[in-house]
Amino acid sequence: MLSTAFALFCFLLAADCLETHVHGDLFVPDAILRISAQNISIGGIQRYTTLVNGSVPGPELRVSEGKVVWIRVYNDMTDRNTTMHWHGLAQAASPFSDGTPLASQWPIPPQHFFDYELQIPNDTAGTYFYHSHVGFQSVSASGSLIVEDRSNPPYKYDDERTITLQELFNLTDVDVEQRITADPLLWFGENNGFLVNGKTISDYGVIDNSTATLAVIEVDPGKTYRLRFIAATALSYTSFAFESHDGLEVIEADGHYTKPLSTDLMQMGSGQRFSVLLKTKSCDELEQSGRLDYYLQVETRERSAVATNYALLRYRDTCNLPESSVHHLPTDSYPSKKPIDLPPTISGFLDYQLQPLVPNNFPTTSQVTRRIVLNVQQFEDGYYVWRDSNVSWSDASIDSRRYTTPATPYLVSLYTNQTAYLPKYDAAIANGGVDPTTQTFPAKLGEVLEIVLQNIGSISKTNVTPGLLETHPWHAHGGHYYDLGGGPGAWSSEAMEARLQGTLPVLRDTTMLFRYNEATQPDVKSGWRAWRLRVQNPGVWMIHCHWLQHMIQGMQTVWVFGDAGDILKVPRREVEGFLTFGGDVYGNGTHVPERVHFSEGG
């Protein structure tokens, strides 16, 4: 085997090269995910959409800190490419496993499979999710991914529940993609409700009662539960709370434990995860209230209409309460009146309040080596695009006048040394951080970047909503950033430093750029968020808004951390199979891929 010879070569030279080996047809992956497109009954409606292992959400995956796991992803669709992304986990050690099409890998062609190698670093225990990174597929093609603690978690709880929030649209994924990229834009409609663990009663008009049902989250009295909330949503900011269960204690945000922080309601944007501790009622309290069921009420925020949906927190009656004294709520209908009065959006929700549980090596202002301002703005010219510092990047490369996406994934271009896509650091520095030729944001290992996201009123040539502002969940691949919070108006370092006084930023991977106002004038700065990032993990990483519609409309950026020497750890001959669309590392019915292992012993 080439790899054995290579390992020996490395050993003899004591060279700093990665040892690799390959797997063949006897290889057994740790988990198998199959992506298909099917017509399903969900929330009482029929919807043709993308599924993982036939369900919405897909199965929960549980992995351990410090381990290497192999997940085989089959693309069972016949007409669409796909990928899988492991949201919140940096695939630093296995560079082709991040699941970003046209950035870190060629997408998996129809009727092919790809083996993802995930290295789960220590100190990453927490709540994550996996999702397709192609088009609108992840509206339904996603599932929870839990990294379990090696030892006892720092908080005590009796049990845990995963609560995944998704949205329900009634158009097909392809319809949505085509409508939002049409010229002129064709409206795709607002979400018509949230799915809680895949369940809801649709407001689109129920035709199948058997699936029009509320999710039930079962608990026992007198216990402490860790609730893991995952916002696997598409376009709607979400506000939610439990009926007569106040004082949720936030203990984790995006895979990092926090000091406990009490809140009565949650707000979440797509891609965010939080764990909270919920103390359940005692037998006495249940008897007093006369109920074993309580609503979880979920509402849209920051959209033109408010959708309201429910799930049930249901107590198992381990108290043996007299049957006449307690009752259940129906799972096949909504309450006639909203049980909770959820407030309007709290701009800056939990900002400057969350604190890390353990010191996290926050870089001081003087350690910052470079600042990059991403001006986030919508541009309308019949078609709609989002521009970040004038870059409009989408894997929906329909029309080159809109998007700057290359024809080849950047990581592949790096390996094949296609100069057109090799980022030029100096050119980028001279151009506000983005290399004008490759449209990437290069950074050197060891840099400490301050990234400012600046909301700017939209420009319209077609006279549609000029000055429009939206709220965006911004997500970074390739490592967590220190979240510096945000504020209204134009960013200034004085305003930011003043807000930071006496606070301890937490490490996050998805935080909200709020709009603070619904609209302003075109080109006026309104609302900012800032991050600090230690550039540590070499690779090709995306930083993007996590609203799926906005991603398709170009609200994505590609960053290249490290130079070719840092990124290309494995010699080209070992990765040849990654370098062409449908190349040797993509298996199919007749071909078993020989796959390089980037990890030792994996």
- CB atoms closer than 10 angstroms to residue 115: 19
Q: Where are the beta strands (DSSP E) in 155-247?
A: 159-167, 194-196, 216-219, 224-231, 237-242
Q: Which is nearer to ligand C2O, 329 or 551 (CB)?
A: 551
Closest separation between CB of residue 552 and ligand C2O, Å?
12
Region of 475 please: left (phi>0), alpha (psi -120 to 50) or beta: beta
Closest separation between CB of residue 270 and Cu ion, Å?
9
Collapsed DSSP state (helix, strand, coil) of residue 123: coil
Distance between CA atoms of 250 and 257, rounded to whole angstroms? 9
Residue 112 binds which entry of ligand C2O, Cu ion, none, with Cβ cut-offs from 5 to 8 Å by kind? none
Q: Which is nearer to ligand C2O, 47 or 546 (CB)?
A: 546
| DSSP assigned state of 290 | T
Bridge partners, 126 (sequence order): 147
Closest separation between CB of residue 493 and ligand C2O, Å?
28
Q: Which is nearer to ligand C2O, 254 or 380 (CB)?
A: 254
Among 291, 544, 550, 595, indicate the residue that binds ligand C2O (CB under 6 A).
544
Residues 449-478 that bind ligand C2O (CB under 6 A): 475, 477
Closest separation between CB of residue 477 and ligand C2O, Å?
6
Sole window of 210-218, 391-399, 439-447, 539-547 interacting with ligand C2O (rule: CB under 6 A): 539-547
Residues 261-290 that bind ligand C2O (CB under 6 A): 271
Closest separation between CB of residue 98 and Cu ion, Å?
20
Pairing of strands 159-167, 248-253: unpaired
Closest separation between CB of residue 551 and Cu ion, Å?
8
Residue 545 binds which entry of ligand C2O, Cu ion, none, with Cβ cut-offs from 5 to 8 Å by kind? Cu ion
Distance between CA atoms of 424 and 142, rounded to whole angstroms? 35
Distance between CA atoms of 149 and 126, rounded to whole angstroms? 8
Closest separation between CB of residue 547 and ligand C2O, Å?
11
Sole window of 26-34, 286-294, 358-366, 542-550 interacting with ligand C2O (rule: CB under 6 A): 542-550
Closest separation between CB of residue 270 and ligand C2O, Å?
8
Residue 133 binds which entry of ligand C2O, Cu ion, none, with Cβ cut-offs from 5 to 8 Å by kind? ligand C2O
Residue 477 binds which entry of ligand C2O, Cu ion, none, with Cβ cut-offs from 5 to 8 Å by kind? ligand C2O
Number of residues that bind ligand C2O (CB under 6 A): 10
Instruction: Based on the shown chain and the rule CB under 6 A, indicate whether residue 550 belongs to the binding site for ligand C2O.
Output: no
**Residue among 115, 113, 119 nearest 63 (CA):** 119
Closest separation between CB of residue 99 and ligand C2O, Å?
8
Residue 550 binds which entry of Cu ion, ligand C2O, none, with Cβ cut-offs from 5 to 8 Å by kind? Cu ion
Among 131, 281, 550, 597, indicate the residue that binds ligand C2O (CB under 6 A).
131
Instruction: Based on the shown chain and the rule CB under 6 A, indicate whether residue 133 belongs to the binding site for ligand C2O.
Output: yes
Closest separation between CB of residue 440 and ligand C2O, Å?
15
- State how far the alpha carbon of 222 is from the alpha carbons of 204, 311, 322, 525, in Å: 38, 21, 18, 49
The residues of the shown chain that bind Cu ion, judged by CB under 5 A, are 472, 545, 547, 550, 555
Residue 80 binds which entry of Cu ion, ligand C2O, none, with Cβ cut-offs from 5 to 8 Å by kind? none
Sole window of 55-63, 188-196, 540-548, 589-597 interacting with ligand C2O (rule: CB under 6 A): 540-548
Q: Which is nearer to ligand C2O, 162 or 263 (CB)?
A: 162
Q: Which is nearer to ligand C2O, 395 or 450 (CB)?
A: 395
Among 72, 87, 228, 291, indicate the residue that binds ligand C2O (CB under 6 A).
87
Among 21, 23, 80, 85, indicate the residue that binds ligand C2O (CB under 6 A).
85
Q: Could you tell me if 65 and 121 are in contact, meaning their C-beta atoms sit under 8 angstroms apart?
A: yes
Q: Which is nearer to ligand C2O, 532 or 546 (CB)?
A: 546
HSE-CB for 410 with a 13 A CA cutoff:
31
Q: Which two tokens stand for residue 260?
A: 């406990």
Q: Which is nearer to ligand C2O, 43 or 479 (CB)?
A: 479
Q: Which is nearer to Cu ion, 540 or 555 (CB)?
A: 555
Q: Which two tokens stand for residue 491?
A: 């960013």
- C-beta contacts of 15-19 below 8 A and 24+ residues apart: 17/569, 17/570, 17/571, 18/569, 18/570, 18/598, 19/600
Q: Which residues contact 478 (CB under 8 A, 6 or more apart)?
A: 90, 91, 92, 98, 537, 539, 541, 559, 561
**Residue among 397, 401, 394 nearest 550 (CA):** 394
Closest separation between CB of residue 71 and ligand C2O, Å?
16
Q: Which is nearer to Cu ion, 465 or 536 (CB)?
A: 465
Instruction: Based on the shown chain and the rule CB under 6 A, indicate whether residue 480 belongs to the binding site for ligand C2O.
Output: no
Q: Which is nearer to ligand C2O, 44 or 479 (CB)?
A: 479
Q: Which is nearer to ligand C2O, 131 or 597 (CB)?
A: 131
Distance between CA atoms of 178 and 383, rounded to whole angstroms? 11
Q: Which residues contact 353 (CB under 8 A, 6 or more apart)?
A: 261
Q: Which is nearer to Cu ion, 326 or 385 (CB)?
A: 385
Residue 544 binds which entry of ligand C2O, Cu ion, none, with Cβ cut-offs from 5 to 8 Å by kind? ligand C2O
User: Which H, E and C letters describe 232-265, residue by residue?
Assistant: CCCCCEEEEEECCCCCEEEEEECCEEEEEEEECC
Residue 472 binds which entry of Cu ion, ligand C2O, none, with Cβ cut-offs from 5 to 8 Å by kind? Cu ion
| DSSP assigned state of 342 | P
- CB atoms closer than 10 angstroms to residue 157: 16
CA angle 24, 25, 30 (to 5 degrees): 85
Q: Could you tell me if 289 and 328 are in contact, meaning their C-beta atoms sit under 8 angstroms apart?
A: no
Q: Nearest residue to ligand C2O, using CB?
A: 87
Q: Could you tell me if 35 and 51 are in contact, meaning their C-beta atoms sit under 8 angstroms apart?
A: yes
Bridge partners, 379 (sequence order): 385, 459
Instruction: Enumerate binding residues for ligand C2O (CB under 6 A).
Output: 85, 87, 131, 133, 271, 475, 477, 542, 544, 546
